Amino acid sequence: MKHKSLSVLMIVFLVLSSIFISGAKGNNKIGINVVLNTDVTNAILADLGTRGTVRDVVYEIDALTMQIRSANLRAIQALPYVASASPDAERNGAPVDTVSVTDFMDGLSTWDQDAINVTDFGFNNRQVEYDGTGVYVAVLDTGLLDSWRQYFPEERIAEEYGIAFGGGGGEVGSVSSQPNKWEHDQNSHGTHVTSTILGYSLRGTPVNGVAPMATIIPVKVLNQNGSGWSSVVARGIVYVADLKDSGELGDSPVVINMSLGGPVQEPVEKAAVDYAIEKGVIIVASAGNSGDAGMGYPGAYAPVISVAASGWIGEWPAGNRSWWWNTNVAEPTNPADFYITDFSSRELTGQDLDVAAPGSWVVGPYQLQSGKTSYYFLGGTSMASPHVAGIAALMMQKNAALTQAEVEGYLEISAIRLAPGCRTVLGPSGSSETFCWYADATGAGLATADAALAATPP
């Protein structure tokens, strides 16, 4: 009897504990993003205010962020004026000297620029007619380092439009802007991404970029750890779209590069993408670095131009540590010379992968010590995406009337098919590694600037 009574008491204890824990979880405060199926009104905001705290309203896309108790999420999702409501989703990806050159068109070629046929081996070797003149490229990323003027010509960075957005996620859900924080990044990710588009100064030696005469709008949406929230990314997208729509940028074409993403599609971010495309902005994003686990969002969202990471079999030849700038990528482009990296996200059902571009061993500015210039090889679809954003800028320079769907279409029809296969490649240690992939890893194939421009009508 004694043992039986203890068993009964234990069962009662476990049941009560379960109820307590369940209730505690329901009382957790979370940040959520809400998209309405109607315009935002004061009546709707007041009603939602009875169910939580409205933190931020994005009127352009009929969306808002809230802080609520997790137990209230289903009730909010069921409201007749709510199209979707979900937890905020994670997203991952002081002036010193002025660069003495105005652009890097006559600069040194690197393997990745050679691989997309923007340049050829050596200096003064531009291989395409266009250079990005008159096109804005908004880089939604970590912002730029304090020392960005040591890497980029000052006139290539639109300081007047630079902005930082922060907050989001967690238990707060609010998004704030800090106009000057964009140029005080400590992460370097955004600076490296920008260097692929513009080119950069390598201790005084100019290095070519995909679109060296484009103008960069730095929009900081990721924190100093290189991570952030979809609500903040959405704010950045809407900011750029509004710049385009307001006429602030004149008639200039606008491209957004997002070397960032996360495994979950988030409705407010999706609404922001749709809004920007409607306003005529071209959007390019990385596919993600999750391999067979699938693509990241917003890249996996079909209207976005998504980019996988390719590499070159000429990497790290024995005895040549300077291969990245002094070794020629053979032309015409031979798909047998390239591979898909193992980290590059593969396309799952319901996801859309468009093209591939260099994303393995790409050199650019990357600082480990604040204020001390340094350069590193980086690998990731984050490095691949700006190659295609730069190509998109060249296409928009040729024909500013192109739509998002047209840019994606011309990139795909002009891509060089990379059939499923395997390649054995040397690494920096001298040991070899074999990379294999299937059709879900390549999209339409390898993007090249010359072919994309040839496919683009004037």
Residue 8 in domain: no
Residue 192 within a domain:
yes
Which of 36, 71, 87 marks a domain boundary? 87
| Domain match, 73 and 106 both | no
Spatial contact of 196 and 210, defined as CB atoms under 8 Å apart:
yes
SS3 assignment, position 355: strand
Q: Which helix (H) or strand (E) holds 5?
A: helix 2-26
Residues 64 and 197 in one domain: no
* 21 inside domain: no
The token pair at 162 is 């630079």
We report the CATH number of the domain holding residue 60 as: 3.30.70.80
Residue of 382, 387, 440, 450 with catalytic role: 382
Beta strands in 37-170 (DSSP E): 53-58, 63-69, 82-87, 90-92, 136-141, 163-167
Is 435 within a domain? Answer: yes
Q: Collect all residues with Cβ–Cβ distance below 8 Å to 97 and sequence separation of at least 6.
A: 149, 150
- Determine, yes or no, domain membership for 365: yes
Cα gap 232→381, rounded to integer Å:
21
d(CA 386, CA 365): 14
Both tokens assigned to 311: 């590499």
- Strand 282-286 vs strand 205-207: parallel, antiparallel, or unpaired? unpaired
Examine the domain organization and report whether 379 and 246 are in the same domain. yes
Parallel, antiparallel, or unpaired: how do β-strands 90-92 and 205-207 relate? Answer: unpaired
Give residues with Cβ within 8 angstroms of 397, minimum separation 6. 130, 131, 132, 133, 134, 135, 211, 253
Same-domain pairing of 83 and 98: no
Q: Are residues 155 and 226 in the same domain?
A: yes
Same domain as 153, residue 64? no
Q: What pLDDT score was predicted for residue 450?
A: 98
Catalytic residue among 103, 147, 189, 306: 189
Domain that holds residue 72: 27-87
Alpha-carbon distances of 418 from 314, 338, 339, 349, 410, rounded to whole Å: 17, 8, 8, 20, 17
Domain-located, residue 421: yes
pLDDT at residue 11 in the model: 39
Q: Is the peptide bond before 298 cis (omega within 30 degrees of 0)?
A: yes
pTM score:
0.92
Q: Does residue 22 lie within any of the structural domains? A: no
CB 342 within 8 A of CB 356: no
> Nearest Cα to 63, choosing from 35, 91, 101?
35
- Does some domain include residue 4? no
The total domain count for the chain is 2
What's the full length of the chain, in residues? 458
Torsion of CA 123, 129, 134, 138, to 10 degrees: -70
pLDDT of residue 370: 81
The CA distance from 219 to 3, in Å, is 66
Catalytic site includes residue 189: yes
| In a shared domain, residues 116 and 73 | no
pLDDT score recorded for residue 1: 37
How far apart CA 453 and CA 18 sit, in angstroms, is 63
Same domain, 206 and 226: yes
What does the pLDDT read at residue 163?
97
Same domain, 43 and 183: no
One domain for residues 70 and 143: no
Both 32 and 164 in one domain: the answer is no
- Which CATH number do you get for residue 182? 3.40.50.200
**pLDDT 10s digit of each residue in the chain, 458 long?**
334 333 443 433 343 344 334 444 557 889 999 999 999 999 999 999 999 999 999 999 999 999 999 999 999 999 999 999 999 999 998 434 556 677 888 899 999 999 999 999 999 899 999 999 999 999 999 999 999 999 999 999 999 999 999 988 765 667 888 778 999 999 999 999 999 999 999 999 999 999 999 999 999 999 999 999 999 999 999 999 999 999 999 999 999 999 999 999 999 999 999 999 999 999 999 999 999 999 999 999 999 999 999 999 999 998 899 999 999 999 999 999 999 999 999 999 999 999 999 999 999 999 988 878 999 999 999 999 999 999 999 999 999 999 999 999 999 999 999 999 999 999 999 999 999 999 999 999 999 999 999 999 99
Residue 345: φ, ψ to 5°: -65, 135
- Which one of 70, 87, 104 terminates a domain? 87
Same domain, 117 and 266: yes
